[in-house]
Amino acid sequence: MRNGRPLLIAHAYGDRRDLLEKALAAGVDAIEVDAWLRGGRLWARHERRLGPLPVLFDWRRYAYHGLGPWALPVGRAYVRLDARPLPLDEVLATIGGRCRLLIDVKGEGDRSYVAGYVAALERLLATTGPGQAMLCGQEWRVLDAALGALPGLPVRYSLERPQQWERLWPRLCSGFRPDGLCLHWALVQEQRASLLAEMGLPFYVWTVDDPALASRVVALGAEGVITNRLDLLEALSPAGDG
């Protein structure tokens, strides 16, 4: 929470340079970025790379803010030329401490990828001040490794499906305490929110684009709302808050 209101988190606005500037101009509390490991560095994009080619692929339903430059729709999907890759160190430098960066882990999660991802995170964090980045995602092996290797990095486990809750719940009951969770809005209900409150475990909610839904999850205790809509962020922010 910030000044009694939920944190305002711009969903996927860290994935492109133009979107990043829009979110910063809106004065959000945090910007979410999808981050892949490649060549020992972390890169901002939601799309999957097609092998060694500089071509990216994704489904159009995930293009929350349009296809962007150098993109071509192909049925329900699209491809995009990776002409100007955006590294996360540039994202952090552009933010310049004006808000926090929520890094959403992307990738396959095999052992070598996990080790490389955490090493790249460590190098990235060495270039910025403390408290400027957070980690989340559904690649829990990366999150587990980051918890052990990077104690100064807040880690939030992302859950989209009931089966993921069932996997994580026994760990929570055994005393496992990450810094928080990122819950899909469909998982947010009163009993679950009460259990998390009893554990002292805060949660963000994604993806919330409807004001009524935003009000509901905040009433249930959401610490932050992750949304595609900058106008929703503005509506949730009381006038005069910085």
Asked if residue 225 has pLDDT above 70, the reply is: yes
Asked if residue 117 has pLDDT above 50, the reply is: yes
CA nearest to 122, candidates 107, 103, 98, 108: 103
Chain segment 68-107, per-residue pLDDT in tens: 899 999 999 999 999 999 999 999 999 999 999 999 999 9
Residues in the chain: 242
Asked if residue 125 has pLDDT above 90, the reply is: yes
β-strand pairing of 48-49 with 55-59: antiparallel
Rg (CA), the chain: 17
Asked if residue 7 has pLDDT above 50, the reply is: yes
Q: Do residues 21 and 13 touch, judged by C-beta distance below 8 A?
A: no
Chain mean pLDDT for the chain: 93
Give me the helices (H) in the chain, please: 17-26, 88-95, 111-125, 140-149, 162-173, 190-199, 211-219, 230-236
Task: Grade residue 242 by pLDDT with cuts at 50, 70 and 90.
Answer: very low
CA nearest to 230, candidates 62, 10, 31: 10
Chain segment 173-202, per-residue pLDDT in tens: 999 999 999 999 999 999 999 999 999 999
User: Average pLDDT for residues 194-220, to the nearest whole number?
Assistant: 96
DSSP lists the bridge partners of residue 10 as: 31, 227
All structural domains of the chain: 7-45+86-236 (3.20.20.190), 47-84 (no CATH)
Residue carrying structure tokens 């999850």: 217
Q: Do residues 44 and 15 touch, judged by C-beta distance below 8 A?
A: yes
Integer CA distances (angstroms), 215 to 106, 206, 221, 225, in order: 29, 13, 10, 10
* pLDDT at residue number 139: 97
